A and B are shown apart, each in its own frame.
Chain A
Amino acid sequence: MNVSSRRASRRRGDGGAGGGGVERTSAGRSGGEHHGAEQARPAARRTARRGTGPRRGVRRPWRLGTAAAAVYVFLYAPILWLALVSFNDSRTLSTLTGFSLRWYAELANDERVVSALLLSLRLAAASAVIATVIGTLAAFGLRRAFRGRGLWTTLLALPLVVPEVVLGVSLLAFCVQLMGIPLGFGALLLAHVTFSLSYVVVVVRARLAGLDPRIEEAAADLGADPLTRWRTVTLPLIAPAVGAGAAFAFVLSFDDVVTSGYLTGVGSTTLPVFVYGQARRGVSPEVVALSTAMVAASAALLLLGVLVTVVRARRAGRSAARDVLASAS
């Protein structure tokens, strides 16, 4: 360990002692509430104003940590503000005058909101089921070696790069002019399965790639026929990824606004499309409350999905989060 003279010498062992001095990074935003990015940064006394250069051994880059923490504030402050305002009892957005549930009460009594919510839930459930089934199957198909596999991989990833506007208008043209499919639930379902499918394929493929083929081969050697092998060995192993894919598909469907905007029929509007219609008129506490509720619903779904996957993965002995993260790459 030669201490180069270019750097500020720091009197500290390698153990990374020192408490987590959480610096409040007020990035000039609304009351930067607490967020989860509490980095344990040692209160290292620095004598020179220099970033810590790389050096063998443990370093605690407090600067980088601060930058990261600032980004977390940026990510969370708006949502927290939204939530705070939704419980405010006045119409104003800038001063919190008191706690009240009145905006939520108004929502619950608004028939349009309730029916849009029910449609959104039905739609998300249906499209998640279809997308998960055919997406998982396709992920298995891509595992095999055959000519033109690259083409199929591209086809299955295509919905990821088609802009939502384009997907929406193309399906509008398709349903209205070509097929005579009435707008509404059916048309929406076509669109939602189409854009969810790729996510399922990506998530399940990532998991399949990490599987040891010898496990399945062992099952075959022990006399399991393909169907039994699939049911008792392969499927349990990929269950976390299938669950993650289904959760992805559900939330994507539940949140979609652009594509759905073209395909909603009279009297069959999804919740996001309804909110968007309201939101364009300016900022209103009702829409703030509705948005908060949607955030809470998505977060709850995510949590549920993660919990289920974690429990399953614990059984399968692998971190579920890794799947979700691997899938996202």
Chain B
Amino acid sequence: MSGRPARRGFSSGLAAAGQLGPATVWLVLFLLVPLALVVQFSFATRDTGAARAVLPWTTLPYRTALDPAFLPIFWRTLVYATVTTLACLLLAFPLAWFIARHGGRFRTVLLALVLIPFWASYLARVYAWKALLDGDGPINRLLSVVGLGRDGGFLLTDTAVVLGLTYGFLPFMVLPLYVACVRFDHQLVEASYDLGHGRLATFFRVVLPGVLPGILAGSLLVLVPAAGDFVTPSLLGGVDQTTFGSVVDDQFGGGNNWPLGSAMAVLLLVLVVVALLARGRRGEDVL
């Protein structure tokens, strides 16, 4: 993983401090302090005048955030994120396996081709789906010929949102999976066959456990941003596709309720921590 363990000693420690210093100061100041501030706000009272958080401290934001009214939104967000992760997995696995096993000298090129759309602006890529799924867009026109078209196209549907999310985060799944597939020793498959396993048993008992670190790392990289994203739902979905991210966004925007928004942001962070812990140390060497 990391480089050689260098000589221990006073000068070495001093040098490490010097090298890590700037980044540490930066992250403490502009990441940890702001996050601590959000945690603090999440227990504060809303100041109607300036939308900011003030004393007295209260657990009201959390009580509001956990109100049954928000339950459908939580649930929907989790479903979107989970389905997106699974869809990415289904699409990415054959691709990663193919490139790793049969890419030959084109491996790098094939992988770069996966990455290029990822470099294309995220917003532009969501927008491309907006154009495609529009009532006036090509997909709806084509389907109308067969009689499957819809008025107004496929925007404002759950399908559109999940499609957009899957498209947006697919490369995050391909990369760790690819790394895992490259590291996977293919002789294990041969051995499995020689020992009498069939194709399915080999896949589930040999291949899948073998590439599990990649699956875990990729799932984390897709699940977390998908759960927090609100750009895709807001562009491809409608009122019925409101996600958790949109609600947080609202509280800091038009909703003007920073404490509630902070409480929700904290809940989102809790989800991240849970996901990280669930991944455990096994996915760590891939990520």
CA distance A309 to B6 in the complex (A): 28
CA distance A51 to B134 in the complex (A): 38
CA distance A199 to B142 in the complex (A): 42
User: How many A residues, CB 8 Å from partner?
Assistant: 106
Please judge, given known A-B contacts A262-B252, A291-B124, A329-B179, whether A53 and B102 are in contact too, CB under 8 Å: no
Min CB distance, B251 to chain A, in Å?
A: 8
B22's partner among A137, A163, A301, A329 (CB-CB below 8 A) is A137
**Cβ–Cβ contact A161 & B252, under 8 A:** no
**Cβ–Cβ contact A93 & B137, under 8 A:** yes
**Cβ–Cβ contact B252 & A67, under 8 A:** no
- A85 — which chain B residues lie within 8 A by C-beta? 131
A209's partner among B2, B95, B178, B231 (CB-CB below 8 A) is B2
Interface residues of B in 222-243 (CB under 8 A from A): 224-225, 227-231, 234-235
**A interface footprint on B88-103 (CB within 8 Å = 1, 0 otherwise):** 0001101101110110
A205's partner among B2, B26, B35, B108 (CB-CB below 8 A) is B2
**Cβ–Cβ contact B224 & A163, under 8 A:** yes
A48 at the interface (CB under 8 A from B): no
**Cβ–Cβ contact B252 & A169, under 8 A:** yes
CA distance A194 to B220 in the complex (A): 20
**Cβ–Cβ contact A53 & B193, under 8 A:** yes
A124 at the interface (CB under 8 A from B): no
CA distance A208 to B3 in the complex (A): 6
Please judge, given known A-B contacts A146-B16, A155-B27, A170-B35, whether A251 and B125 are in contact too, CB under 8 Å: no
CA distance A172 to B253 in the complex (A): 11
Task: Give the one of B33, B97, B127, B269 with max A CB within 10 A.
Answer: B127
**B interface footprint on A197-228 (CB within 8 Å = 1, 0 otherwise):** 10001000100110101000000000000000
Min CB distance, B228 to chain A, in Å?
A: 3
**Cβ–Cβ contact A275 & B4, under 8 A:** no
CA distance A145 to B142 in the complex (A): 61
**Cβ–Cβ contact A81 & B130, under 8 A:** no
Please judge, given known A-B contacts A81-B128, A280-B234, whether A166 and B108 are in contact too, CB under 8 Å: no
Min CB distance, B13 to chain A, in Å?
A: 6
**Cβ–Cβ contact A194 & B128, under 8 A:** no
Interface residues of A in 270-329 (CB under 8 A from B): 272, 275-276, 279-280, 283, 287-288, 291-292, 294-295, 298-299, 301-302, 306, 319, 321-322, 324-325, 328-329
B80 at the interface (CB under 8 A from A): no
A145's partner among B8, B22, B119 (CB-CB below 8 A) is B8
**Cβ–Cβ contact B113 & A174, under 8 A:** no
Task: Give the one of B15, B18, B95 with max A CB within 10 A.
Answer: B95
B94's partner among A35, A68, A155 (CB-CB below 8 A) is A68
**Cβ–Cβ contact A299 & B120, under 8 A:** yes
B contact set with A: CB distance below 8 Å: 1-6, 8, 12-13, 15-24, 26-27, 30-31, 33-35, 37-38, 41, 52-53, 91-92, 94-95, 97-99, 101-102, 108-117, 119-125, 127-132, 134, 136-142, 167, 170, 175-176, 178-179, 186, 189-190, 193, 199, 220, 224-225, 227-231, 234-235, 245, 248-249, 252, 258, 261-262, 265, 268-269, 272, 275-276, 286-287
A contact set with B: CB distance below 8 Å: 29-31, 35-37, 51, 53-54, 56, 60-61, 64-65, 67-68, 71-72, 74-76, 78-79, 81-82, 85, 92-95, 133-135, 137-138, 140-146, 149, 152, 155-156, 158-159, 161-167, 169-174, 176-178, 190-191, 193-194, 197, 201, 205, 208-209, 211, 213, 251, 254-255, 257-258, 261-262, 272, 275-276, 279-280, 283, 287-288, 291-292, 294-295, 298-299, 301-302, 306, 319, 321-322, 324-325, 328-329
Q: A170-B265, A280-B235, A321-B108 are in contact. List 4 more A-B contacts (CB 8 A).
A: A144-B16, A161-B272, A165-B265, A211-B3
